[in-house]
Structure 1
Amino acid sequence: MHSHGAETLVENANRVYYANLYAKDHRHKTFHGLHHQASHDGQQLLGKEPWWKAGVFYQVYPASFKDSNGDGWGDIPGLISKLNYLADLGVDCVWLSPVFDSPQQDMGYDVRDYQSIYAPYGTVEDVDTLTSECHKRGMKLILDLVVNHTSIEHIWFRESRSSRTNSKRNWYIWKPPRYNEKGERIPPTNWRGYFACPTWTWDEATQEYYLHLYAPDQPDLNWENKECREAIYEDTMRFWLDRGVDGFRIDTVNKYSKRTEYVDVPVTDPRWESQPAPEMWCNGPRIHEFIREMTAQALAPYGAVSVGELSNMAGPTDVLPYVSAARRELDMVFEFSMIRLGTGGGFGPKYIYRPYTLPTLKEHVARFQTFIEGTDGWTTVFCENHDNGRAVSRFGDASSPGLWARSSRVLALWQATLTGTLFLYQGQEIGMVNMPETWGIEDYKDVESRSFYEDALQSGSTELRDQTMNGLRILARDHSRIPFQWDGNSKHAGFSDADETWMRVHDRYKDINVARQTGDPGSVLEFWRHILKLRKHFADLFVYGSFRSREDADLNRYVYIKESSIDIRGRAGVKRKALVIMNWSKDTQSCVDVRAALGCQEHEVHLLITSLDGIQTNGVETQTALGPWEGRVYLNFQPRI
């Protein structure tokens, strides 16, 4: 990649300081030096809050990160070999997506044994080594915990389905059949699940149906059963916490409590016999009781960090109970209204793409930036994960000549300046993009992608098939799961030496990779490294600061103010502020009146960072028009770095 310089700082001394950060020999040392400078104003809050609030979390999708043994699958030893890379990036905690033993019907989200590791990934001892090596580098490790359901091959389910009288029968949700007016057997309810299929599967041996919100291979555990809950805490949480892991990302955390009346829902889509029914299993009547118990019995005694996956939330008032410190439930949650923009819903029309405008995105972000103000709750910041398309392909411009890198850097600036705990997904830091549009459905490996495409085929509608394929090209989970691009010269982008990898490497790997971007001041990777350091250095503004959106109706500019709780030194009662202004378009846009926005004099305006180079930083003359996909951060005080 040969793009422009990533940033221009306030003073020549600062330019020199940041230039030194590019040097490979000094990068690790410099990062830790800046991270531990607690004397500056912006660092004052770090000693008063839990480590995970200002921490940078990095999600690793193990199948696709680094293959160490040439079998075409990424593995834990491969991840261990790249920990210095993550430490140099500025990562504080590694989130490892599921590695437990599994038949891999849903890439490890169907667990066969919580206390064993899927053999291609490694061993339990490899996880121990990973934990130790993370800790040596000052990083934490959290595992992906999947306890709404198991695999059909888990010993618990094999016992449960062995007979109606088995002691574990009630560890899953079994119901007798119903019969229609023709005497035909039908499921207990008309609910439709997340993978374009009914939520009930018939078991011929015991003559009952079992419930599964996802694939038939993923039967739901019955959290109403206390013995089942205790086994979950002991076998899946305490086992790993005793081995030294630091916490969990908890999958589908608001689906443990179902509505136990098990009744039909209204027909909202006449195309199917089964109907979307998230109101029957999301945020159920005992959900907060279950989570409080889980935290008290399994997480709190270890000081484990928890981040839960919430879906189908009505709004912030429903999210807050999960993250209120006084309620002692979860530390953080992922709320998906912003990242799901463009989708047609969670069920039938999910992959029928729905265009949206920048003001709509701003509205979602503002809602979940501000809902914690005046409360004891906390929020998260993310725009990529393993369940969505790549951010630069969805929110930026990955296809226009010259704009891929520019928009990737603007998205980095956006994420790094938002309030809350920041989560990065592997490859986001180098601007990895969606799979090429020329790839066919045969290149999509995900059970969800294939299920929705097959459902469209069965409809007999060519229009629905084409609409679904178009939506998959933008939104499919597969985009985030292609192998990581380490270099542009090695076989399979440096991911693996195998003859064939489990998933194709992207066609653009020669242009988008770590090796090409390392040491290039204008690269997406080096920009991320810098902006993460600034985020921590000015944590009072970017991690903890209040958020105030401006220019909400503007279709091309994204503007907001971040305000600290800390006064500017020597100016009692005047809070430190940052103005973030970004051009989210291909066209030049005017700059806002920076002085007026910050409420200060012209000589008090300072440009902290720009996503482009070549702009002088001596105050107001930097308030020129914004070029295509350009972002800037202005301060109302002289920064001290």
Structure 2
Amino acid sequence: MGSTETNTTMPPPEKTWWKEAIVYQIYPASFLDSNADGLGDLPGIISKLDYLSSLGINTIWLSPIFKSPQDDMGYDISDYRAIHEPYGTVSDQYYLSLFLPTQPDLNWANEDMRRATYADMEFWLQKGVDGYRIDSMNLMSKHPDLPDAEVTDPGQEFQSGAEYFASGPRMHEYIKEIRQEVLDKYDCMTVGELGFTKDEESVRMYVAKERGELQMLFTGDVVDMDFGVDGKYGHNAFKPSYLKKLTKLWQEAMPKFEGWNAVYLDNHDSGRSLSRYASDLPEYRETAAKMLATYLCTLSGSLFLLQGQEIGMANVPREWGIEDYIDVEGRNAYAAIEKQRGPGADMRDVMKELRLKARDNGRLPMQWNDSKNAGFTKSSKPWMRVNTDYPEWNVESQLNSESSVFAYYKEMLALRKKEADVFIYGSFKMLDTQEETMQWQAFIKADAQVLV
């Protein structure tokens, strides 16, 4: 990074706490088990708050902790006001379900349902939570007639119906009502997950300041750059030029309508960026993890990290077979492809894609030290297998090393906070470089610009 002088007429963004947030996503089942039952829990999270503070984290995003049958690891919530018991305390019908039978799509057209949901949101805000990341938010509103999708790919058994079940006619009405009835009463953060919403105009409708809807959103385009034409587990080699294109698009688009970026590469629904977009081979792993840290920590917006990203955690081992994967999405996809191909089909290509993209990768137990089960649990059987690389890649081994991935993240997060006017609130300009490389400027009015 170097610096020169620049001038710009763009007004500085309004400053607020959530824009300066460094958000650390915790997947409770995989973070730390405090009672040796093999499953991470809330006391385990609480015991590591000092660790997160030492890294520079100031905001925690908890994946669901609510009461649930756990068919989809907590995203199939049965009671928003009760905690899933292992984490801690506090008939003949049919219904629309886009995900799992235990995840019915709620009828947002029903006012009683909406009021009950708003009461659940108030319940936690009154207890002091600072905001919500709302899962699959733009599926709240659907075409009222629920029509069948058009056949656009005759070779596929099922067709995409996204135009009928995502961002329906009442979507923005619902968001404005949520704000009016709940969110505007609090100084809180709102982040919406919006699949099928990847173009600038659609995004503007959700996050433009004048619209008064969401503060940030996840479009998902950063975590599906290597999806194939047949879907998530189809092959499509990652190209750095695509990340470059997306980075330029959103870093330069958001200021046009005073929107705000959510800066991330990893989450609980994806493979880890280190393994997918860089390299987890021993000779490259540390350098690659630091490269991705530099990318993330120098982009304007609110930064989101997934647990373990700060120590360079990688995807599942290459030798794992399908029997070692436990997530319903990946296993269902494998079974569907195997059924389509027929008995005895060669599935090695599918296993390669699972190893890159399966949700299991982002949910592996946290690697705390080199003791049994990486210090995650004292149980003889953790809820999910620990990655076999934990003796070399763990928190304890990196805490006192000045050259570790952890130390680099800590340094970059401190720099990001110190130079917030540049790295969080600053303007962005992508420079012309070779197609497979990126170089950009982050700068503030009448002050130094930083070349990355």
* TM class by smaller structure: over 0.9
**Map of 2:304 onto structure 1:** 423
Q: Which has the larger radius of gyration?
A: 1
In proportion to residue count, which structure has more strand?
Answer: 1
Q: Does 1:444 align with 2:325?
A: yes
1:108 partner letter? G
**Map of 1:214 onto structure 2:** 99
Residue 537 (structure 1) shift: 0.8
Structure of greater relative contact order (alpha carbons < 8 Å, 6+ residues apart): 2
2:15 partner letter? E
Q: Does 1:509 align with 2:381?
A: no
Residue 468 (structure 1) shift: 2.1
**Map of 1:561 onto structure 2:** 441
- Aligned residue for 2:191, secondary structure, equals strand
Specify which of 374, 377, 395 is matched with residue 256 of structure 2. 374
State whether residues 351 and 467 of structure 1, in contact with CA within 8 Å, keep that contact through their aligned partners in structure 2.
no
Specify which of 264, 267, 273 is matched with residue 391 of structure 1. 273
Count how many residue pairs are aligned between Structure 1 and Structure 2.
443
1:233 partner letter? Y
CA offset digits 1:562-582 (Å, max 9, x no partner): 1212x2xxxxxxx320000xx
| 1:481-492 equivalences in 2 (<5 Å) | 481-488=363-370, 490-492=371-373
1:228 partner letter? M
Q: Does 1:524 align with 2:405?
A: yes
CA distance in 2, matches of 1:363, 1:271: 31
Specify which of 340, 346, 354 is matched with residue 224 of structure 2. 340
State whether residues 259 and 280 of structure 1, in contact with CA within 8 Å, keep that contact through their aligned partners in structure 2.
yes
Which ranges of structure 2 fall in alignment gaps of 5 or more residues?
A: 4-11
State whether residues 456 and 464 of structure 1, in contact with CA within 8 Å, keep that contact through their aligned partners in structure 2.
no
**Map of 1:591 onto structure 2:** none
State whether residues 224 and 232 of structure 2, in contact with CA within 8 Å, keep that contact through their aligned partners in structure 1.
no
- Aligned residue for 1:471, secondary structure, equals helix
| 1:161-560 equivalences in 2 (<5 Å) | 205-206=92-93, 209-234=94-119, 236-271=120-155, 273-344=157-228, 349-399=231-281, 401-461=282-342, 465-488=347-370, 490-555=371-436, 557-560=437-440
> RMSD in angstroms over aligned alpha carbons?
1.8
CA offset digits 1:63-114 (Å, max 9, x no partner): 0000000000000000000000011111111111000000000000001111
CA offset digits 1:250-284 (Å, max 9, x no partner): 11111100011222212234455432211111111
State whether residues 441 and 451 of structure 2, in contact with CA within 8 Å, keep that contact through their aligned partners in structure 1.
yes
> So what's the TM-score if we normalise by structure 1?
0.67
CA distance in 1, matches of 2:51, 2:211: 37
- Aligned residue for 1:116, secondary structure, equals strand
Q: 1:344 to 1:463 in 2, by over 3 A?
A: farther
> So what's the TM-score if we normalise by structure 2?
0.94
**Map of 1:67 onto structure 2:** 33
Q: 1:55 to 1:498 in 2, by over 3 A?
A: same
Residue 473 (structure 1) shift: 0.9
**Map of 1:90 onto structure 2:** 56
State whether residues 2 and 451 of structure 2, in contact with CA within 8 Å, keep that contact through their aligned partners in structure 1.
no
Residue 328 (structure 1) shift: 1.7
CA offset digits 1:197-243 (Å, max 9, x no partner): xxxxxxxx35xx42111112211100011111111101x20111111
Residue 417 (structure 1) shift: 0.2
CA distance in 2, matches of 1:552, 1:255: 39
Residue 552 (structure 1) shift: 4.5
Q: Does 1:80 align with 2:28?
A: no
**Map of 2:9 onto structure 1:** none
CA distance in 2, matches of 1:516, 1:98: 30
Which ranges of structure 1 fall in alignment gaps of 5 or more residues?
A: 1-7, 11-44, 125-161, 163-204, 568-574, 581-641
Q: Does 1:106 align with 2:44?
A: no
Residue 360 (structure 1) shift: 1.6
CA distance in 2, matches of 1:303, 1:293: 17
**Map of 1:35 onto structure 2:** none
CA distance in 1, matches of 2:121, 2:267: 23
CA distance in 2, matches of 1:472, 1:270: 25
| 1:126-145 equivalences in 2 (<5 Å) | none
CA distance in 1, matches of 2:434, 2:145: 45
